[in-house]
């Protein structure tokens, strides 16, 4: 920071927002005599949505593997367009940049990538289902863990 | 207006609460009061907040940073669709005055508990708000827009010194600079333009006459959207530090009948001219030397300090906003310009006033509030609450009503003394100081009173320790 005066809330907010977008495990920043510590252990915990109205999605017994979480609130689509084959089938192998579906927010299409190497073992939401930020979308059995 | 609210008499209308913290708790209470079902749109950091637990449902819209959650109109609109909401209440800050959210909702036929998008645009930037005010016959300060920051000196002379450099698209007191002479103006104007560009995405500036000894007085308005205006008295918010309000009261003390009438009449004219819809505030400066009244801005939203007005008049402004947005009667009475009680609000922030108001987030180990006649607390705090570092520092508002101003000051002082907030440092110490200070007890301090007065106290304390 440019001066050594006490940081304002705005300074801190900016800093935390900046740090939060990084993939750190822990971070500690000191300026002036204020220190900020951030840590993140394990993958982002997916908040459990309270969707009382919708029928339960694909019922799968405790998925073991890596969860792919929704990057946005929106509607999840497994196919690039109506009638087209899905981006990936269950049982297909995926790489980190493999698109497994899209989340649509107000006509904006946001591709969702697998993020890891492995085999896509199940979807936890149905095609066209409303999803929230952080909601578990699918499970991948990672290649290294097989 | 949407008729969804009344379409199905079986299902209560859903209110999407697009905010967090104490105001989310407040909106949820208002939704309950009108028989609606509150659904909270929360960031991941707030998914398990006290407000989240009070709501019927929580929809997680994004990660903790506001730029990826609370400030994204398309995420709020998506959440409103998912919730099946009839109305979205934006609270204050965040998207409350952004026409983009109001417009997205209009497309989806979901009501917005706020003014129409075109009103938000008309009053949203200060130079257009000023034009609207001038057209409605509202008194404004001498001011001029800056065309070229390199040749501002002549403009300054036409206004007179001291003056303020302000960002046309600024807000919340940010980017304002005080200038005492032409030399300072020439030096600071380019800086201010660069800062405004960085902070607000637009470097446009204007110069405005500065009144060094003025009070901040604002008028609470409510419009039916068709030109009818109701006025709910005024508030004095002059106890400020760096343009951030600390203490507010209703009514503004010691105003002459004529001065009050100027402000109320001007506010009514403005609401009528805009066919303003819902709750709003018209802010003024009152020069203590000349008693001149000048228009500052319109806050086209519910304000942080709305409870002092609610308590003074026995009304529920947030419920009225929701009712109006649903196409119902807002159920607001006509009231006299001065209420029969005085109400004082203390903002309790997670900041350390003994150390330059340093931010102090952390875990609240224990919190206890006073009770008794005329005491109201608007807060999201509870034992064990982890006050997050992502958002603003407001923890609670302690609101105290009594039959006279003297009684209200005494009651507020006594209430503040019994507040217990353990785990983080708060601004309570400053409230005890202000409420005991003869200047504040007398009433009518100016906006430049608190800063130097608090600094002077700090210096004295340092001296006495040595």
How do strand B111-112 and strand B87-89 relate by DSSP bridges? parallel
pTM: 0.84
User: How distant is the Cα of B208 from the closest Cα of chain A, in angstroms?
Assistant: 26
- How far is it, in rounded angstroms, from Cα B142 to Cα B211? 11
User: How distant is the Cα of A146 from the closest Cα of chain B, in angstroms?
Assistant: 31
**Residue B132 domain flag:** no
The whole-number pLDDT of residue B214 equals 96
A117 has pLDDT over 90:
yes
Average pLDDT over residues B41-61: 97
- Least-confidence region, from A62-66, B195-199, B320-324, B452-456: A62-66
- How far is it, in rounded angstroms, from Cα B348 to Cα B398? 7
Asked if the Cβ–Cβ distance from A16 to B65 is below 8 Å, we say yes
**Residue B128 domain flag:** no
**Residue B136 domain flag:** no
User: Is B198 found in the same domain as B168?
Assistant: yes
Chain B CB contacts of A108 under 8 Å are 74
For residue A112, what are the CA distances in angstroms to A31, A143, B73, B130, B442? Answer: 37, 19, 21, 47, 62
Q: Does B13 touch chain A (CB under 8 A)?
A: no
Q: Using DSSP, state whether B150 is helix, strand or coil.
A: helix
Q: Which of B189, B209, B229 is the last residue of a domain?
A: B209
Per the CB < 8 A criterion, the answer to whether B357 and B241 are in contact is yes
Q: Which CATH number goes with the domain that contains B202? A: 3.30.1490.20
A4 has pLDDT over 50:
no
Facing A12 at nearest CB: one of B57, B63, B359: B359
Facing A74 at nearest CB: one of B64, B66, B78: B78
- How far is it, in rounded angstroms, from Cα B113 to Cα B301? 9
User: Is B352 found in the same domain as B285?
Assistant: yes
Task: Count the domains in chain B.
Answer: 3
User: Is B452 found in the same domain as B304?
Assistant: yes
Mean pLDDT (chain B) is 94
Chain B CB contacts of A106 under 8 Å are 74, 77-78, 104
- Quick: pLDDT tens for B362-404: 999 999 999 999 999 999 999 999 998 899 999 999 999 999 9
Percent of chain B having pLDDT more than 70?
97
User: How distant is the Cα of A60 from the closest Cα of chain B, in angstroms?
Assistant: 23
- Least-confidence region, from B48-57, B147-156, B305-314: B147-156
- Quick: pLDDT tens for B336-356: 999 999 999 999 999 999 999
User: Is B393 found in the same domain as B309?
Assistant: yes
Chain A CB contacts of B57 under 8 Å are 50, 52
The whole-number pLDDT of residue B438 equals 98
**Residue B165 domain flag:** yes
Asked if the Cβ–Cβ distance from B359 to A135 is below 8 Å, we say no
User: Which residues constitute the domain of residue B163?
Assistant: 142-209
- Domains of chain A, start order: 9-39 (no CATH), 66-145 (2.40.50.100)
User: Is B321 found in the same domain as B230?
Assistant: yes
- How far is it, in rounded angstroms, from Cα B388 to Cα B392? 9
* Active-site residue, from B301, B323, B347, B405: B301
More reliable by pLDDT, A130 or A50: A130
Average pLDDT over residues B292-316: 97
Active site residue B301: yes
Best mutation target, B389, B392, B424, to test chain A (most A CBs within 10 A): B389
- Quick: pLDDT tens for B8-34: 557 999 999 999 999 999 999 999 999
Q: Is the peptide bond before A66 cis (omega within 30 degrees of 0)?
A: no
Asked if the Cβ–Cβ distance from B356 to A6 is below 8 Å, we say yes
A10 has pLDDT over 70:
no
How do strand B362-363 and strand B386-387 relate by DSSP bridges? antiparallel
Chain B CB contacts of A17 under 8 Å are 65-67, 390
User: Is B243 found in the same domain as B201?
Assistant: no
User: Is B271 found in the same domain as B168?
Assistant: no
- Residue B58: φ, ψ to 5°: -120, 135
User: Is B277 found in the same domain as B165?
Assistant: no
- Least-confidence region, from B21-30, B117-126, B254-263, B374-383: B117-126
- Residue B56: φ, ψ to 5°: -75, -30
Neighbours of B213 (CB within 10 A): 14
Q: Look up residue B391 and give its two tokens.
A: 């958002």
**For A62, which DSSP code?**
S
Q: Which of B86, B119, B88 is nearest to B101 (CA)?
A: B88
User: Is B44 found in the same domain as B183?
Assistant: no
Q: Does B40 touch chain A (CB under 8 A)?
A: no
**Residue B435 domain flag:** yes
B250 has pLDDT over 70:
yes
The whole-number pLDDT of residue A143 equals 85
> Which DSSP string do the residues of B409-462 spell out, in sequence order?
HHHHHHHHHT-EEESS--THHHHHHHHH-HHHHH----TTSHHHHHHHHHHHHH
Which residues of chain B from 77 to 106 reach within 8 Å of chain A, CB to CB? 77-79, 82, 104
Asked if the Cβ–Cβ distance from A49 to B60 is below 8 Å, we say yes
Which residues of chain B from 151 to 180 reach within 8 Å of chain A, CB to CB? 174
Facing B65 at nearest CB: one of A12, A17, A130: A17
**Residue B356 domain flag:** yes
Burial zone of B269 (CB within 10 Å; 0-12 exposed, 13-18 middle, 19+ buried): middle
Average pLDDT over residues B281-296: 94
- How far is it, in rounded angstroms, from Cα B283 to Cα B447? 13
Q: Which CATH number goes with the domain that contains B32? A: 3.40.50.20
The whole-number pLDDT of residue B389 equals 87
Chain A CB contacts of B48 under 8 Å are 47
Average pLDDT over residues B205-225: 95
The whole-number pLDDT of residue B464 equals 85
- Least-confidence region, from A83-92, B178-187, B190-199, B252-261: B190-199
The whole-number pLDDT of residue B4 equals 45
User: Is B61 found in the same domain as B46?
Assistant: yes
User: Is B411 found in the same domain as B357?
Assistant: yes
- Quick: pLDDT tens for A92-105: 999 999 999 999 99
Q: Is B16 left (phi over 0), alpha (psi -120 to 50) or beta?
A: beta
**Residue B282 domain flag:** yes
A59 has pLDDT over 90:
no
Facing B390 at nearest CB: one of A6, A13, A130: A13
User: Is B329 found in the same domain as B357?
Assistant: yes
The whole-number pLDDT of residue B198 equals 85
For residue B127, what are the CA distances in angstroms to B106, B146, B150, B283, B436? Answer: 26, 11, 20, 15, 39
- Least-confidence region, from A127-136, B117-126, B199-208, B302-311: B199-208
**Residue B127 domain flag:** no
């Amino acid at each position: 920071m440019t001066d050594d005066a006490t940081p304002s809330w705005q300074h801190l907010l900016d800093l935390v927002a900046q740090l939060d977008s990084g993939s750190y495990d822990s971070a500690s920043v000191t300026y002036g005599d204020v220190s900020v510590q951030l840590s993140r252990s394990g993958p982002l915990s997916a908040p459990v949505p309270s969707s009382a109205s919708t029928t339960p999605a694909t019922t799968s017994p405790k998925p073991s593997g890596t969860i792919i979480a929704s990057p946005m609130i929106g509607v999840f689509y497994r196919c690039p367009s109506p009638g087209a084959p899905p981006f990936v089938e269950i049982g297909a192998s995926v790489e980190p940049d493999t698109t497994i579906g899209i989340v649509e927010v107000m006509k904006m299409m946001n591709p969702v990538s697998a993020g890891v190497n492995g085999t896509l073992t199940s979807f936890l939401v149905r095609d066209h289902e409303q999803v929230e930020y952080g909601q578990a979308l699918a499970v991948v059995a990672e290649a290294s863990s097989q | 207006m949407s008729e969804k609210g009344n379409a199905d008499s079986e299902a209560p209308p859903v209110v999407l609460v697009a905010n967090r913290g104490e105001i989310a708790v407040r909106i949820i209470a208002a939704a309950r009061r009108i028989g609606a079902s509150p659904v909270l749109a929360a960031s991941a950091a707030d998914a398990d907040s006290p407000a989240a637990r009070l709501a019927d449902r929580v929809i997680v819209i994004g990660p903790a940073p506001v730029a990826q959650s609370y400030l994204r109109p398309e995420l709020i609109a998506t959440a409103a669709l998912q919730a099946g909401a009839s109305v979205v209440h934006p609270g204050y800050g965040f998207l409350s005055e952004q026409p983009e959210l109001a417009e997205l909702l209009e497309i989806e036929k979901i009501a917005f508990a706020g003014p129409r998008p075109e009103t938000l645009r008309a009053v949203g930037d200060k130079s257009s708000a000023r034009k609207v005010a001038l057209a409605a016959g509202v008194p404004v300060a001498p001011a001029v827009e800056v065309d070229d920051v390199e040749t501002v000196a002549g403009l300054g002379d036409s206004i007179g010194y001291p003056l303020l450099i302000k960002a046309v698209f600024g807000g919340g007191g940010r980017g304002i600079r005080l200038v005492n002479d032409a030399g300072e103006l020439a030096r600071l104007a380019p800086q201010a333009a660069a800062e405004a560009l960085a902070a607000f995405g637009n470097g446009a500036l204007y110069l405005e006459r500065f009144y060094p000894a003025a009070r901040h007085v604002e008028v609470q308005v409510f419009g039916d959207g068709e030109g009818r205006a109701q006025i709910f008295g005024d508030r004095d918010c002059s106890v400020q530090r760096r343009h951030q309000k600390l203490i507010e009261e209703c009514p503004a003390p010691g105003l002459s009948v004529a001065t009050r009438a100027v402000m109320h009449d001007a506010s009514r004219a403005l609401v009528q001219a805009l066919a303003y819809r819902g709750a709003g505030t018209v802010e003024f400066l009152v020069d203590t030397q000349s008693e001149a009244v000048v228009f500052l801005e319109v806050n086209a939203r519910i304000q942080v300090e709305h409870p002092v007005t609610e308590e003074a008049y026995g009304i529920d402004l947030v419920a009225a906003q929701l009712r109006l947005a649903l196409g119902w009667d807002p159920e607001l009475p006509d009231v006299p310009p001065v209420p029969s009680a005085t109400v004082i609000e203390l903002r309790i922030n997670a900041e350390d006033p003994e150390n330059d108001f340093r931010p102090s987030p952390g875990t609240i180990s224990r919190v206890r509030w006073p009770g008794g006649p005329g005491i109201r607390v608007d807060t999201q705090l509870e034992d064990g609450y982890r006050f997050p570092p992502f958002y603003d520092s407001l923890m609670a508002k302690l609101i105290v009503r009594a039959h006279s101003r003297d009684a209200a000051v005494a009651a507020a002082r006594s209430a503040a003394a019994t507040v217990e907030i353990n785990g983080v440092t708060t601004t309570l110490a400053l409230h005890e100081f202000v409420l005991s200070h003869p200047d504040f007890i007398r009433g009518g301090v100016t906006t430049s009173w608190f800063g130097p007065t608090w600094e002077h106290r700090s210096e004295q304390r340092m001296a006495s320790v040595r």
